[in-house]
């Protein structure tokens, strides 16, 4: 069936009008809600690393194409540009639906009400309309014009589609590499990464998480240091226990319980003393007294524990390894692990963990974007970086000579708050907002960044929402369960995303 020139003219006008309407509406919608559009692009698994450029480029290109479609002299070029752009959009959605680990939010306006499948069909329809317009205009070209030849036209369509799809593919590959290996402070938030949330209210806010193992959570109590309360991961209270501790005339100031079944540690770095016992009898015996003061202790097993202390020679923070036997206690310090940038105390402050699944000690600096992965003998180490850009601790120290002490001259810039580790992952409660993130979320939740320790890469981020306006005080990870303590509230929620692989011991 052949169309008359009049029908062809009407069709071209209709396609141009619909395309102008689409591009102008889409561009204006993006610009009117630009911050939200940029945030959504920033969370895209395909183009998140280039959100800054793309968020401006897309609406500008859409308006430019709409302008070119207004004039008959530029309409042929504009339809090619429209076809190419719709091919890019269609390829983007195809990759999102088939190759992305998660599906991000849509792109705003009326189109946001569409599902991704409907959006794909919608884009495909406009691709076909633009292609039909190109074919009609090409058929109206003089026979001497190269584009009027079928072979040339077919080649032009093929090249345009390949280039458009190639652009999206290259952006996807480059963005993935940047996000995971050379992150420029763009977080990735998978859609609904946590589920099955349950919260209970404890009698008071003096509890802390002392340990966990095989579906059990052990809580210590600051007001009752020898008390242990055990919950399962469904937050059903299992039992309450009182530790049997030998009586010594110690002036405890910061007693701390650390449970690592089948044993536990009870210690106070200011006495200093360390008791070790088993979780069957809950009886402990003194293993160390007055050998070394320490600020943090993490058990490795019932014979070894890693500590953070102050080196008596350098007066800097250092890591040490206690080794206990039936007859003696040995302490090995390694002053080369924590790297001084300013004063050696405040600038090297951080959190200390031991991950038994990978048999590694992990130290995460509080005021710089770095964590250390150390073997359990305090020998070799590798370092990794959190995704923010603070590589040097912004710490200012003042000396009070009358008291012979050093103190912070002003509050330093906190980078990493709390940490946890399980399996191949490090979980960091971040203190700094990243690019393309809604500020309102920082008032509603704590942000957890997840790093793959084996690959030394950033994996993804997720939210732990505040309770009664208060952020969490501490958290631990029990394989695919996030256990957090927020004042009097104990919460367990399941981590469920393709970015995270739960730990299964090798058999």
75-96 pLDDT per residue, tens? 999 999 999 999 999 988 888 7
Q: CB under 8 Å, gap of 24 or more: what pairs does 65-71 form?
A: 65/19, 65/23, 66/19, 66/20, 66/23, 66/24, 66/27, 69/16, 69/19, 69/20, 69/23, 70/16, 70/20
The pLDDT mean for the chain works out to 88
Rounded distance between C-alpha atoms, residue 44 and residue 36, angstroms: 13
Q: What is the pLDDT of residue 191?
A: 77
Q: What is the pLDDT of residue 36?
A: 76
pLDDT surpassing 50 at residue 108: no
Q: What is the pLDDT of residue 60?
A: 94
The whole-number average pLDDT for the span 36-57 is 78
Torsions phi, psi for 349 (to 5 deg): -60, 150
User: Does the CA dihedral 397-400-406-407 come out positive or negative?
Assistant: negative
Residue 253 binned pLDDT confidence (cut-offs 50, 70, 90):
very high
Rounded distance between C-alpha atoms, residue 391 and residue 381, angstroms: 18
The DSSP secondary structure of 334-378, one letter per residue, reads ETTSSPPSSSSSSTT-EEEEEETTTTEEEEEESSSS-EEEEETTS
The whole-number average pLDDT for the span 335-348 is 94
pLDDT surpassing 80 at residue 347: yes
Q: What is the pLDDT of residue 3?
A: 62
Q: What is the pLDDT of residue 507?
A: 46
pLDDT surpassing 50 at residue 499: yes
Q: What is the pLDDT of residue 41?
A: 78
Contacts of 260 (CB under 8 A, 6+ apart): 211, 213, 299, 301, 356
Contacts of 316 (CB under 8 A, 6+ apart): 310, 335, 338, 340, 344, 345, 348
Q: Are 421 and 328 in contact (CB under 8 A)?
A: no
Q: What is the pLDDT of residue 399?
A: 76
- Between 141 and 244, the more confident residue is 244
- Return the structure tokens found at 194: 């946590």
Q: What is the pLDDT of residue 119?
A: 84
Q: What is the pLDDT of residue 361?
A: 97
Q: What is the pTM of this model?
A: 0.79
- Where is average pLDDT lowest: 206-215, 315-324, 498-507? 498-507
Size of the chain in residues: 507
∠ CA 289-294-300 to the nearest 5 degrees? 85
Name which of 37, 166, 164, 151 is nearest 104 in CA terms. Answer: 37
Helix (H) or strand (E) holding 231: strand 227-232
Q: Are 409 and 398 in contact (CB under 8 A)?
A: yes
pLDDT surpassing 70 at residue 359: yes
Torsions phi, psi for 413 (to 5 deg): -80, 110
The whole-number average pLDDT for the span 58-76 is 92
Contacts of 421 (CB under 8 A, 6+ apart): 353, 355, 362, 427, 453, 477
The 8-class DSSP code of residue 90 comes to: H
The pLDDT > 90 percentage for the chain reads 58
Pairing relationship of beta strands 284-289 and 194-201 according to DSSP bridges: unpaired
The whole-number average pLDDT for the span 257-268 is 96
- Between 400 and 274, the more confident residue is 274
pLDDT surpassing 60 at residue 109: no
Q: Are 134 and 80 in contact (CB under 8 A)?
A: yes
β-pair partners for 317:
310
Rounded distance between C-alpha atoms, residue 459 and residue 450, angstroms: 5
> By three-state DSSP, how is residue 40 classified?
helix
Query: What is the phi-psi region of residue 344: left when phi exceeds 0, alpha when psi lies from -120 to 50, beta otherwise?
Result: left
Q: What is the pLDDT of residue 293?
A: 96
Q: What is the pLDDT of residue 474?
A: 96
- Between 39 and 448, the more confident residue is 448
- Return the structure tokens found at 39: 């945030």
Residue 92 Cα to chain centre, angstroms: 23
pLDDT digit string, tens, across residues 410-429: 888 999 999 999 999 999 99
Q: What is the pLDDT of residue 461?
A: 92
pLDDT surpassing 60 at residue 449: yes
- Return the structure tokens found at 412: 């330093």
Residue 335 binned pLDDT confidence (cut-offs 50, 70, 90):
very high
């Amino acid at each position: 069936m052949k169309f008359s020139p009049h029908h062809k003219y009407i069709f071209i006008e209709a396609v141009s009008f619909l395309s102008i309407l689409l591009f102008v509406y889409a561009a204006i919608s993006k610009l009117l809600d630009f911050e939200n559009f940029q945030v959504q692009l920033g969370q895209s698994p395909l183009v998140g690393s280039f959100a800054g450029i793309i968020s401006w480029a897309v609406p500008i290109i859409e308006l430019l194409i709409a302008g070119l479609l207004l004039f008959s002299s530029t309409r042929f070029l504009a339809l090619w540009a429209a076809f190419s752009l719709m091919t890019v959009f269609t390829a983007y959605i195809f990759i999102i639906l088939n190759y992305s680990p998660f599906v991000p939010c849509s792109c705003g306006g009326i189109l946001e009400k569409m599902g991704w499948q409907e959006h794909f069909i919608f884009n495909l329809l406009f691709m076909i309309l633009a292609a039909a317009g190109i074919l009609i205009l090409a058929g109206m070209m003089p026979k001497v014009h190269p584009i009027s030849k079928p072979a040339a036209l077919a080649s032009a369509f093929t090249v345009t589609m390949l280039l458009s799809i190639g652009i999206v593919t290259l952006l996807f590959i480059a963005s993935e590499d940047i996000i995971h290996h050379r992150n420029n402070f763009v977080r990735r938030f998978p859609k609904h990464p946590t589920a099955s949330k349950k919260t209970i209210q404890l009698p008071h806010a003096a509890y802390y998480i002392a340990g966990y193992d095989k579906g059990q959570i052990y809580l210590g109590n600051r007001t009752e240091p020898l008390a242990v309360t055990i919950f399962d991961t469904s937050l059903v209270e299992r039992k309450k226990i009182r530790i049997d501790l030998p009586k010594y005339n110690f002036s405890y100031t910061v007693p701390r319980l650390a449970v690592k079944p089948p044993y536990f540690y009870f210690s106070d770095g200011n006495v200093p003393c360390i008791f070790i016992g088993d979780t069957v009898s809950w009886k402990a015996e003194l293993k160390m007294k007055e050998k070394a003061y320490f600020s943090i202790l993490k058990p490795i097993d019932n014979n070894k524990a890693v500590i953070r202390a102050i080196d008596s020679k350098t007066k800097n923070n250092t890591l040490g390894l206690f080794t206990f036997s039936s007859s003696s206690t040995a302490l090995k310090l390694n002053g080369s692990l924590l790297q001084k940038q300013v004063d050696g105390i405040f600038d090297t402050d951080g959190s200390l963990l031991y991950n038994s699944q990978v048999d590694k000690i992990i130290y995460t600096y509080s005021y710089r974007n770095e964590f250390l992965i150390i073997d359990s003998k305090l020998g070799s180490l590798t370092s990794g970086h959190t995704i923010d850009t603070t590589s040097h601790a912004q710490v200012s120290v003042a000396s009070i000579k009358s008291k012979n002490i050093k103190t912070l001259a002003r509050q330093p810039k906190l980078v990493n708050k709390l940490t946890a580790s399980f399996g191949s992952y490090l979980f960091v409660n971040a203190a700094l907002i990243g690019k393309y993130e809604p500020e309102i979320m920082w008032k509603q939740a704590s942000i957890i960044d997840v790093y793959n320790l084996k690959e030394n890469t950033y994996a993804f981020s997720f939210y732990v929402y505040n309770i009664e306006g208060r952020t969490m005080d501490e958290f631990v990870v029990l394989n695919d369960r996030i256990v957090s303590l927020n004042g009097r509230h104990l919460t367990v929620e399941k981590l469920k995303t393709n970015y995270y692989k739960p730990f299964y011991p090798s058999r």
